[in-house]
Amino acid sequence: MYETLMMMMLIFSKLYEKVMYKRLYSFVTSYKIIHHLQFGLQENHTVDHTLISITEAIRNTLDGRKYQCGVLIDLQKAFVTVNHDILLSKLEHYGIRGTLLMWFQSYLSQRYQYVSINGNDSILVMITCGVPQGSVLGSLLCLLFINDLPNVSNK
């Protein structure tokens, strides 16, 4: 009985995450919140879009006989380093407020992890940063967290 209840709760939470993803994605796309130079982690965008944009910028620079500089950032472990307070502040800045913002705060808080090796389990440790990996919301929340990176330079 307990296992069945836990499975039902897991299914319900996954469905609810999908609903929240669709609502949040619809909101950020309808208000054009995601930076136009952000190609990663989005529906209908591929690596090809990124390569075309970079190639076009280089071509325009060469045609104008100017110099071009590129900065590539490897956001390795980006999902596990997202600061919850900063993410929630950014969500609020983008217009996510009230009950919805409180839901995201609850979604990110009170999560625990442990390691299990050969049947030996470590103690539970509270997760204080990062987005839930394997969730449908994780990539979108990470994208919103890094959304302002293109604003670091006006070039």
pLDDT tens figures, 114-130: 889 999 999 999 999 99
Q: What is the pTM of this model?
A: 0.82
**Residue of higher predicted confidence among 53 and 72:** 53
Query: Residue 143: which residues within 8 A CB-CB, separation 6 or more?
Result: 34, 38, 40, 41, 42
Nearest-5° angle of CA 95, CA 99, CA 102? 90
pLDDT of residue 154: 67
pLDDT tens figures, 76-87: 788 899 999 999
Reply yes or no on whether the pLDDT at 141 is more than 80.
yes
* Dihedral pair phi/psi, residue 126, rounded to 5°: -70, 135
pLDDT tens figures, 92-108: 999 999 999 999 999 99
Question: How many Å apart are CA 150 and CA 37, to the nearest integer?
Answer: 7
Instruction: Give the whole-number percent of the chain exceeding pLDDT 70.
Output: 97
Nearest-5° angle of CA 34, CA 46, CA 58? 85
One DSSP character per residue, 64-113 reads: TT----------TTGGGS-BHHHHHHHHHHTT--HHHHHHHHHHHSS-EE
Region of residue 69 (left: phi > 0; alpha: psi -120 to 50; beta: else): beta
> Is residue 67 very low, low, confident or very high in pLDDT (cuts 50, 70, 90)?
confident
Reply yes or no on whether the pLDDT at 31 is more than 70.
yes
Reply yes or no on whether the pLDDT at 39 is more than 80.
no
